Amino acid sequence: DAKTTQPNSMESNEEEPVHLPCNHSTISGTDYIHWYRQLPSQGPEYVIHGLTSNVNNRMASLAIAEDRKSSTLILHRATLRDAAVYYCILRGFYGQNFVFGPGTRLSVLP
Amino acid sequence: GAVVSQHPSRVICKSGTSVKIECRSLDFQATTMFWYRQFPKQSLMLMATSNEGSKATYEQGVEKDKFLINHASLTLSTLTVTSAHPEDSSFYICSAIPSGGRQETQYFGPGTRLLVL
């Protein structure tokens, strides 16, 4: 599975939008872009995933660059409960395990 | 939907004893489950891939005789840490891929914190 690069940490103010970037320049045509987040002392939680088109769900939006070499997870209004480590992971449709990088630690300031 | 549970959520044991951790997919069947380990301030590291009805596949550096994995049904995988030592203290997390249907997403359990004294 191709590698992703994310900033180590980011800060946001409560109730403001947050844009979490992810670079994946070696992505293959069959790789899905997944985002998970991990709150302290919990297992990773699914956030969103996509292949080519932008995706929206109740938790977040995923904006995928036209060349698919980068993507951005958008939290529309950050809350204190959104403070977590966010992982951007690539995986083929029938791929096996996810390879976790260090992720981005998001801090939300009240 | 797509809930994965783990039991126990935390366990403390003495050095030299064995500990069993259960991972269950509650509302779906999972042919494949994964076991990860996470040390403090670090990311998740895959330990092994568990396939129902067959032997687990271990990642390089993970001792298969120490970390016994059994995936006897489509909803249950167990990880047994045998002869546990303090360096095995960690956060153990399982995940599962639903059989059939959407294959591209994994669902993770809440994790089991193991402390070996």
Which one of B2, B32, B104 has the shortest CB-CB distance to A49?
A: B104
CA dihedral for B95, B96, B101, B104, sign (positive or negative) = positive
Contact B8, B91 (CB under 8 A): no
Inspect the interface and report whether the beta carbons of A41 and B34 lie closer than 8 Å: no
CA dihedral for B111, B53, B27, A51, sign (positive or negative) = positive
Question: Three-class SS of residue B86?
Answer: helix
Inspect the interface and report whether the beta carbons of A34 and B108 lie closer than 8 Å: no
Token pair 């591209």 in the structure block, residue: B104
CB atoms closer than 10 angstroms to residue A79: 12
> What pLDDT, on the 0 to 100 scale, is given for residue A29?
86
Average pLDDT, chain B: 92
Low-confidence winner among A65-69, A92-96, B43-47, B67-71 (lowest mean pLDDT): A92-96
Q: What is the pLDDT of residues B22-63, one digit of tens each?
A: 999 998 998 889 999 999 989 999 999 988 888 899 999 999
> What pLDDT, on the 0 to 100 scale, is given for residue A57?
93
Token pair 């395990």 in the structure block, residue: A97
Measure the CA–CA gap between B59 and B47, rounded to whole angstroms: 5
CA B99 from centre of chain: 18
Residue of B nearest to A37 (CA): B108
> What pLDDT, on the 0 to 100 scale, is given for residue B63?
94
Q: Which of A26, A36, A33 is nearest to A71 (CA)?
A: A33
Interface contact A105, partner B, CB < 8 A? no
Euclidean distance between the first and the last CA atom of chain A, given in angstroms as a whole number: 37
Inspect the interface and report whether the beta carbons of A100 and B105 lie closer than 8 Å: no
> What pLDDT, on the 0 to 100 scale, is given for residue A42?
94
Measure the CA–CA gap between B95 and A28, rounded to whole angstroms: 24
Burial category of A45 from C-beta neighbours within 10 Å (exposed 0-12, middle 13-18, buried 19 and up): middle
